[in-house]
Chain A
Amino acid sequence: MQNVFQSRNKARSTVYHLRDVVRDRASEGVTFRLRVPALQISQGEKIALIGESGCGKSTLLDMLAFIAQPSEIAAYRFRPELEGDAIDVAQLWKKRHMNKLGDLRKCHIGYVMQTGGLLPYLTVRENMSLSRSVLGLKSDDTVENLARELGIARHLDKLPDTLSVGERQRVAIGRALSHEPSIVIADEPTASVDPFAAEKIMSLFIGLAEERNITVVVASHAWRHIKRLGLRRLAHHTHRSKDGRTTETVVNG
């Protein structure tokens, strides 16, 4: 009895539910295939995707952020709010409701890119407020507080190109968090900074997500310091076909 209740509870709190989701990408005669036989991510979970670059980590993150369309989907459900019903993302994609997918991303997902992706013509404050203003949220002290916690408060009125790479990544993290999303996806957010700063930024990021009970999916190639932050590692393996034409990565979890 208790088992049934637990599993139902778990199903209720599942944010992402993917089954047999595949994305093919051809490049220079080689087909890269990412296959996800089954993936469940629960509310508040911290997931790490570890692997060499080119193995398909970014592809999975992009599919989770609805910015890359899978080639095949058996099931893809997304439940951003515990109270709400699961949204059939497969259906939205099939009907090419790109604006609806965009709205889901706008409301519920923060995305940290590998190289900042800050708009060079906006100040740090405006960059961080961008995800809020798109949602029509009122400007309050959220951005200032975040900036203080990220250690970039003194840079708020500067343009991104006056900042160091590490500082820019902090701004990018701030932008991904400022509209209080329930999910944050980060694609190698610390790949372009030195290992010492990387560790510091990553723990700061995970700490902030933890405080806010945000679901995190982060890709990285350095498992060593991520492990200490208590993230769940997604199992995946990559193999190349004999003729070298296809590289397939399978992710399970």
Chain B
Amino acid sequence: MRLLKTLRLASRDYGHEWQMSGCFVLALAAVLGPMLVLFGLKFGVIGGMLNQLIENPENREIRPVSSGRFTRDWFGNMQRRDDITFLVPRTRSIAATIELDSTQSSRIVRAEMIPSGPGDPLLAADGYLPDGMSRVVLSQSAAEKLQVERGDRIDGSVSRRYLGRKERKHVELEVADVAAVGAFGRDGAFADVRLVEALEDFRDGRAVPELGWNGDATDAERNYPGFRLYARSIYDVAGLKSELTGQGIDVRTKAADIDLVMRMDRNLSAIYWAIAIIGLIGFSLSLGASLWANVDRKRKELSVLRLVGFRTGDIVWFPVTQAFYTGLLGWALAIGIYHAAAYAINGMLADQLSSGQEVCILLPQHFVMALGLTVGAAVLAAALAGWRSARIEPSDGLREI
């Protein structure tokens, strides 16, 4: 009841002194707003850059140095590991080429077949995937040379020397998608593992019933000379490398690059934490100082409240309530400032960024954190100042003008 009365009085005072209150809110927002923008930039630019480095599939790829003999069981076992996001068998590279031809272009393009499947880190996660014996994803350069785009039909052909005769077989393919520029630098076609296997079978003189190609019967047990393997993250690469080395498989990784990225991540994080801590200390001090000064200014009025019988504990609530308002309103205004600045910055750099990417970005939890910190620091400063002024003798407070 007494507490409620104090809260009501504090609110009345805050509203009555709206100009002064407004100044405190502005002062808070003027410090917090730019800080939010700074954090938005850190989060957007550096976070984005690091994510690109960390998520760049090249850094997560593990390649076998020489060809081996990998069984289907081996693939089955390895695919169950959760530190591997993508693993498909490779056929012999010499057997994994195809000649592509389109009606739009007079050129015949000799493309490498890349075994692929769902979750291939080189292909867009939301794009169309190579599927079955007919749907392939072309690399950018292959698509350009063939002058085709998604949905077009192309002709694929392979040749072999079988029973002393040279023969060429054709398969009609559909361009399921065209991969992004960075996915594969040469002429290539991402295809379902079965299609890649079929081409190898054909070259080896075996029959491919799915495509109606004749030849010798297939072996029951198939072995693969290599694989395409991507670790879940760059942090898993080292562990996988030692695991594979342990199995007697020599692999090549981008360990040196990864080390660089990880060191950069650590150093940049340290730098930003330093900035963050310095910023926060400065922010808390400025907020605390202004609230402290405000309580000093109100000492006479607080003493009047004590004179009419408010207790020490009630008095502390008075500046605390007002600090809460200042914290809340200042935070809201700072968010407004941040959004305006972020909109301007992102708009300014929009044409230099890929779509959907933003330079200045904060997540909802960042705003909640800012609110907690602001209100927490404000309430703490006001409580300390209030406690101090509640402890001085009321007569001293009353005589000050």
Contact indicator A119/B13 (Cβ below 8 Å):
yes
Please report the C-alpha to C-alpha distance between residue A136 and residue B4 in the assembled complex, in whole angstroms: 12
Contact indicator B311/A99 (Cβ below 8 Å):
yes
Q: Which residue of B lies closest to A66 (CB)?
A: B394
Per a CB cutoff under 8 Å, which of B1, B2, B393, B398 touches A69?
Answer: B393
Q: B9 in the interface, Cβ–Cβ < 8 Å? A: yes
Which of B38-46, B115-123, B301-309 forms contacts with chain A? B301-309
Contact indicator B309/A134 (Cβ below 8 Å):
yes
Q: Which residue of B lies closest to A117 (CB)?
A: B304
Which residues B341-374 have CB closer than 8 A to chain A? none
Per a CB cutoff under 8 Å, which of B1, B9, B393 touches A119?
Answer: B9
Question: Closest approach, in angstroms, between the C-beta of B401 and any C-beta of chain A?
Answer: 7
Contact indicator B309/A68 (Cβ below 8 Å):
no
Q: A182 in the interface, Cβ–Cβ < 8 Å? A: no
Which residues B237-264 have CB closer than 8 A to chain A? none
Given A67-B393, A136-B1 in contact, is the A58-B399 Cβ separation under 8 Å?
Answer: yes
Q: A45 in the interface, Cβ–Cβ < 8 Å? A: no
Q: What A residues does B395 contact at CB under 8 A? A: 58-59, 62, 67-68
Contact indicator B308/A113 (Cβ below 8 Å):
no
Given A69-B393, A119-B9, A119-B13 in contact, is the A131-B309 Cβ separation under 8 Å?
Answer: yes
Q: A121 in the interface, Cβ–Cβ < 8 Å? A: yes
Contact indicator A133/B5 (Cβ below 8 Å):
yes
Q: Which residue of B lies closest to A126 (CB)?
A: B12
Please report the C-alpha to C-alpha distance between residue A193 and residue B307 in the assembled complex, in whole angstroms: 23
Question: Closest approach, in angstroms, between the C-beta of A206 and any C-beta of chain B?
Answer: 21
Question: Closest approach, in angstroms, between the C-beta of A147 and any C-beta of chain B?
Answer: 17
Question: Closest approach, in angstroms, between the C-beta of A253 and any C-beta of chain B?
Answer: 21
Kindly supply a per-residue 1/0 record for chain A positions 56-71, scoring 1 wherever the CB is within 8 Å of any chain B CB and 0 otherwise.
0011001001011100
Q: A150 in the interface, Cβ–Cβ < 8 Å? A: no
Contact indicator A67/B5 (Cβ below 8 Å):
no
Q: What B residues does A157 contact at CB under 8 A? A: none
Contact indicator A134/B1 (Cβ below 8 Å):
no
Q: What A residues does B12 contact at CB under 8 A? A: 121-122
Please report the C-alpha to C-alpha distance between residue A135 and residue B2 in the assembled complex, in whole angstroms: 9
Q: What B residues does A115 contact at CB under 8 A? A: 401
Q: Total interface residues on A, using CB and 8 Å?
A: 31
Contact indicator B13/A134 (Cβ below 8 Å):
no
Contact indicator B307/A67 (Cβ below 8 Å):
yes
Contact indicator A134/B5 (Cβ below 8 Å):
yes
Please report the C-alpha to C-alpha distance between residue A245 and residue B159 in the assembled complex, in whole angstroms: 118
Q: B310 in the interface, Cβ–Cβ < 8 Å? A: yes
Question: Closest approach, in angstroms, between the C-beta of A192 and any C-beta of chain B?
Answer: 12
Per a CB cutoff under 8 Å, which of A99, A121, A134 touches B17?
Answer: A121
Q: A230 in the interface, Cβ–Cβ < 8 Å? A: no
Please report the C-alpha to C-alpha distance between residue A115 and residue B309 in the assembled complex, in whole angstroms: 19
Contact indicator A68/B393 (Cβ below 8 Å):
yes
Q: What B residues does A62 contact at CB under 8 A? A: 395
Per a CB cutoff under 8 Å, which of B309, B393, B396 touches A135?
Answer: B309
Q: What A residues does B299 contact at CB under 8 A? A: none
Q: B312 in the interface, Cβ–Cβ < 8 Å? A: yes
Given A69-B393, A134-B5, A136-B1 in contact, is the A121-B309 Cβ separation under 8 Å?
Answer: no
Q: A221 in the interface, Cβ–Cβ < 8 Å? A: no
Kindly supply a per-residue 1/0 record for chain A positions 34-70, scoring 1 wherever the CB is within 8 Å of any chain B CB and 0 otherwise.
0000000000000000000000001100100101110
Q: What B residues does A119 contact at CB under 8 A? A: 9, 13, 301, 304-305
Q: What A residues does B307 contact at CB under 8 A? A: 65, 67, 105, 111, 113, 117
Which B residues fall within an 8 A CB radius of A? 1-2, 5, 9, 12-13, 15-17, 300-301, 304-313, 393-396, 398-399, 401
Query: Could you give 10 example pairs across A and B, Cβ below 8 Å?
Result: A98-B312, A102-B312, A105-B309, A113-B304, A113-B398, A121-B17, A122-B12, A133-B5, A134-B309, A134-B310
